[in-house]
Structure 1
Amino acid sequence: MDTLSASNNQFALDLSKRLAESAAGKNIFFSPWSISTSLAMVYLGTKGNTAAQIYLKFYSDIYIYNIANYSCFILKELGFSKIGNIYSEFHNAYLLKSISKLYGEKTSPFKGNMKKYFSADPQLVNFGEVENWTEGKIPDLLPDGSLDSLTKMVLVNAIYVKGKWEQKFMIQDTTEKPFRLNKTTTKPVQMMSMRKILHIFQVEEPPTKIFELHYNNCEINMFILLPYDLNGLQEKLNDWTCADMMDTGEVQVYLPRFKMEESYDLKSTLISMGMRDPFSQGRADFSGISERRDLFLSHVFHKAFVEVNEEGTEAAAGIGSVLTVQMTYPLITFNADHLFLFFIRHNHTNNILFLGRFCSP
């Protein structure tokens, strides 16, 4: 599982860099785990170069069906009682819903593999139900005009999570403060504040502060990375957020209250990452899904919503636990008043579930 986790996390970082290149000065938020799980579903029906470009690009040297098995493993680790096309589980700490669907016709063998690896029966998608599945937070997953008579196959996925902090930010401590967009421009934000014993790591090169923000459940935590410069930062996420690397300290946290909703058609991004044949009519080989030879992937739509406030998180994101230690530590200030990265990681598998960049309030 360590190899699969490392591969999925590398995919997360590669994809974030590609998205950042096309979104200068804009926020980024997506679920790499959801996307890779959806690609694993598609992969079960591919052959030849189409299979190789999906599989070898992101999961080289891994047994052919381990991707699907790993996706199931993660879902079980998150506490889902059933794995299927629609996942919904309510815990005391959080509500998590996830959907991944493939629009198009399917053959019986493909349906069998979906049943075997995902306990799911593929079905035609009622895209209008996405808004209901995500508590109204992710409406209109498919852009107007994205489906027409030439559309052969569309992959969609969406995730919704709502959770509360075990120790909330006190709303009376939230004040308006400037958020630095660049060296000369600021924008007012509602800045939350809390003084807490937290895990924190300070990096000298590139200068970066990292702290681990815990939720009500110990399975999933949020990490926030506050750099002076993003160059070279993302490649070191796994090393820096290792438990052995982080210290415990008393931290005065200043974190903006923020909300983001981001939509992507990942077709061009995935093509630039090496997945050319799956989107190419005439070269795509989805013969494991349909006997039709003209089948190709038209789009990969992904939409994610996150809201962080004093109460907790309502998001395409995950939840964790709060650390309390009765000791005396030097006070460290963590002031997220400029661009920062954040991600949600599943602790047991060390898997990045969700990744974001906040730079534009």
Structure 2
Amino acid sequence: MPISETRPTSWATRLMAVLTVLMVVAAACSSDDGDETSPTSGPQTTTSVVPPAGDGLEFISADVDREDPSSVPSADVAAVVAGDADLGFELLRKAGTEGDNVFLSPYSVATALGMLLPGARGATQEEIASVLGATTMGEAYHRARGALDAAVLEPGTPPPEGEAESFTLRAANQLFGQQGFPFSDEYLELLARSYGAEFGVVDYATEPEPARMLINDWVEGQTEDRIVDLIPEGVITTLTRLVLVNAVYFKANWMETFDPTNTTQASFTDLDGAGGPVETMNGSITTGYVDGDGFDAVRLAYAGGTTSMLVIVPDEGSFADVQASLDADELDRIRADLGRAQVQLAMPTFEFRTALGLKPLLQELGMQRAFLEPGPDGADLTGITPEQILFVQDALHQAFVSVDEEGTEAAAATAIVVGLESAPEPVTLTIDRPFLFVIQHDATGEPVFMGQVTNLVDS
């Protein structure tokens, strides 16, 4: 069950902010003899012993360039996007069984697991690849992941001169490794080449708590202090050898503003049937809309011109059925069916935070061996270091979302319709019941974030 904290937003917060981080920990099992500077050499595997860390956090960059994204087939990128969407909806269903508000980043979870994937071998690798939808892609998966990153993180249209920046989307990948431990050169170089991941040197073996604090400080810096204490006390131990972290930060204004003077208290009915007034913003926008089978969907564009929110509002009594139907193919169908309409929209403001323990969720999805101590039926992470001594200790995910009225007219020209097309048919969508939403990169369809809002009255 996710831990969610919800509170109403005020229009004065003047933001749409989303951020998330995910951590995967690989730890030496208790049978490790401690002689980490003299590993058993695997075939065609070279290792580098990480030098001791100095004061603070020292970063080591592999001497390799990021891959050219233009050389990656678009079909490979599309396969990665589909895998991320399928994984995201599976996690959303499993995390939201108690009717809680849930927010997560498929992009972040898949990126972190993608960094683990080349370190796995045999059945361990097959299970991780299956969860990612990458069973047939091999090394092409990592090249496509790098190309997707380049597309998603492409800067949006800058605001007019003199206006404040209205769009930010950035991500960072980081490894935090034990000093003196022999990591595979091939593994570190692939992560640098395809994921842009640097290597931070820490000392878990003798100072696990200072290492935990250094990692949490790095996360806070990457997420504008929205994610604090990602790694709780006790997760990092003296046997930890590697932490993989992906952090994503997103903040954008709406392309078309909601006037805060039109915000009212309107009725909302939670998934459990409880009803009551919640702060609701109101506006009329020309945008994509579809009256689907058992749901309505509307697209809300963000400033910058590269991202949007797709809001899916199931008919009353249909939330479970619509939620169960969502996958990559259904998401594509909804996008394709969107037609231009003048939408009179009433939508609640909301703000909440979700903390997910990913380990049991990933195990339910079939990723079992990576979490077992090394052995014939346990974890095989010999792509990280040649000895079979590592396993995944834990996987954590945190996300924060805040939605309110603030928007911008900076890219209003993109909404101008040229030609003889007739005016769109007006429709009204009042979001007064549980709904789902996807924050997506428009050009690739990548679901950077997704969530469900089911509980506003009792929160």
1:328 is the counterpart of 2:423: yes
**Bigger shift: residues 286-295 or 246-255:** 286-295
Q: SS at the partner of 2:220?
A: helix
Deviations 1:337-358 (A, max 9, x none): 1110000122222221111001
Where in structure 2 are there 5+ consecutive unaligned residues?
A: 1-76, 160-165, 202-213
When normalised by structure 1's length, the TM-score is: 0.87
Q: Tell me: CA distance 1:184–1:356, structure 2 relative to 1, closer, same or farther (3 Å).
A: closer
TM-score, normalised via structure 2 length: 0.69
Structure 2 partner of 1:32: 106
State which of 435, 438, 454 in structure 2 corresponds to 1:343: 438
Q: Partners of 1:331 and 1:230 in 2: how far apart?
A: 25
SS of residue paired to 1:311:
coil
What root-mean-square deviation, in Å, do the aligned CA atoms of Structure 1 and Structure 2 show? Answer: 2.6
State which of 104, 111, 116 in structure 2 corresponds to 1:42: 116
User: Which structure 2 residues correspond to residues 142-291 of structure 1 after superposition, within 5 A?
Assistant: 142-182=231-271, 184-204=273-293, 207-228=294-315, 229-234=318-323, 235-236=325-326, 237-243=330-336, 245-282=337-374, 283-291=378-386
2:344, 2:429 within 8 Å by CA — same for their partners in 1?
A: yes
Distance 1:116 1:183 in 2: 48
**1:61 positional shift:** 4.6
Aligned positions of 1:344-359 closer than 5 A: 344-359=439-454
Matched-pair contact (CA < 8 Å) for 2:173–2:198: no
The answer to whether structure 1 residue 66 and structure 2 residue 140 are counterparts is yes
The one-letter code of the counterpart of 1:202 is D
How far is the alpha carbon of 1:183 from its aligned partner? 6.7
Match of 1:111 among 182, 188, 206: 188
Give the deviation of 1:320 after TM superposition: 12
Code of the residue aligned with 2:117 in structure 1: it is Y
2:153 and 2:171 in contact (8 A); partners too: no
Against the structure 1 CA distance between its residues 172 and 12, is the aligned structure 2 distance closer, same or farther, given a 3 Å change threshold? same
Match of 2:168 in 1: 95
Amino acid aligned to 1:219: T
Contact 1:137 1:305 in 2 (8 A): yes
The 2-side partners of 1:320 and 1:182 are apart by 36
Q: Contact 1:219/1:347 (CA < 8 Å) preserved in 2?
A: yes
Asked if the contact 2:122–2:380 (Cα under 8 Å) also holds between the matched residues in 1, the reply is yes
Residue 452 of structure 2 aligns to a residue in which SS? strand
Going from structure 1 to structure 2, the CA distance change for 1:251 and 1:47 (only over 3 Å counts) comes to: same
Taking structure 1 as reference, are residues 201 and 119 closer, same or farther at Cα in structure 2, changes over 3 Å only? same
2:402 is matched with 307
Are the counterparts in 1 of residues 121 and 380 from structure 2 also a CA contact under 8 Å? yes
1:153 CA displacement: 4.1
Aligned identity (percent) is 26
Question: Tell me, what secondary structure is at the counterpart of 1:51?
Answer: helix
1:123 match: secondary structure = strand
Q: Which structure is higher in RCO with an 8 Å CA cutoff and minimum separation 6?
A: 2
Gaps of 5+ in 1: 82-88, 314-318
3-state DSSP class of the match of 1:268? helix
Offset, 1:226: 0.5
Paired residue total: 344
**Counterpart Cα distance in 2 of 1:339 and 1:151:** 41
